[in-house]
Structure 1
Amino acid sequence: MKPHIVIRKFHRWLGLLIGVQVVLWLAGGLVMSFFDIDQVRGSHNSVKVQPVAIEQKVSFDSSKLIASLPFTATKIELTHWQDRLVWRASNKQQVQIVDAQSGDVLSPFNQVSAELVANRDFSGNGQLVASQLIEQSSYEIRGRELPLWQMQFDDADNTRIYVSPATGEVVARRNDTWRLFDFFWMLHIMDYQERDDFNHPLLIIAALLGLLFSLTGVYLVVKTVFLKRKLNV
Structure 2
Amino acid sequence: MRKLARWHIWLGWLAAVPLLIWLGSGLFMAARPIEEVRGEALRRAAVPMPLSGLVLPREPVVATKLALVDQRGRPTWIVTDADGATGRYSARDGLPLGPVGAAEARELVAAAWNGTAALSALRRFPRDAPPGDLRQSRPSWQATFADGAHLYIDADSGAVLAVRTRWWRAYDLAWGLHIMDLQTREDSSNAFLWLFGTLALAMALLGAALLFRRRRTATGRRA
Whether TM-score is above 0.5 comes out as yes
C-alpha distance in 2 between matches for 1:105 and 1:140: 30
1:81 aligns with 2:81: no
Task: Write the deviation string for residues 82-123 of structure 1: whole angstroms up to 9, x where unpaired.
Answer: 321223333123322111223442242122222222222222
Q: 1:53 to 1:118 in 2, by over 3 A?
A: closer
C-alpha distance in 1 between matches for 2:94 and 2:51: 18
1:228 aligns with 2:220: no
Question: Counterparts in 2 of 1:1-233, with a 5 A limit?
Answer: 4-50=1-47, 52-58=48-54, 61-62=55-56, 65-66=57-58, 68-69=59-60, 71-93=61-83, 94-135=85-126, 136-142=129-135, 144-155=136-147, 158-224=148-214, 226-233=215-222
C-alpha distance in 2 between matches for 1:137 and 1:220: 52
- Do the aligned partners of 1:32 and 1:181 also contact (CA within 8 Å) in 2? yes
**Local SS of the residue matching 2:19:** helix
Moved more, 132-141 or 77-86: 77-86
How large is the Cα RMSD of the aligned pairs?
A: 1.9
TM (norm. structure 2) is 0.89
C-alpha distance in 2 between matches for 1:79 and 1:154: 28
Unaligned runs of 5+ in 2: none
TM (norm. structure 1) is 0.86
C-alpha distance in 2 between matches for 1:106 and 1:129: 27
C-alpha distance in 1 between matches for 2:171 and 2:68: 37
* Aligned length, in residue pairs: 219
C-alpha distance in 1 between matches for 2:186 and 2:68: 34
C-alpha distance in 1 between matches for 2:15 and 2:195: 10
For 1:147, the aligned partner's letter is P
Task: Write the deviation string for residues 45-94 of structure 1: whole angstroms up to 9, x where unpaired.
Answer: 222334x1424413xx33xx34x24x533444444333212233331233
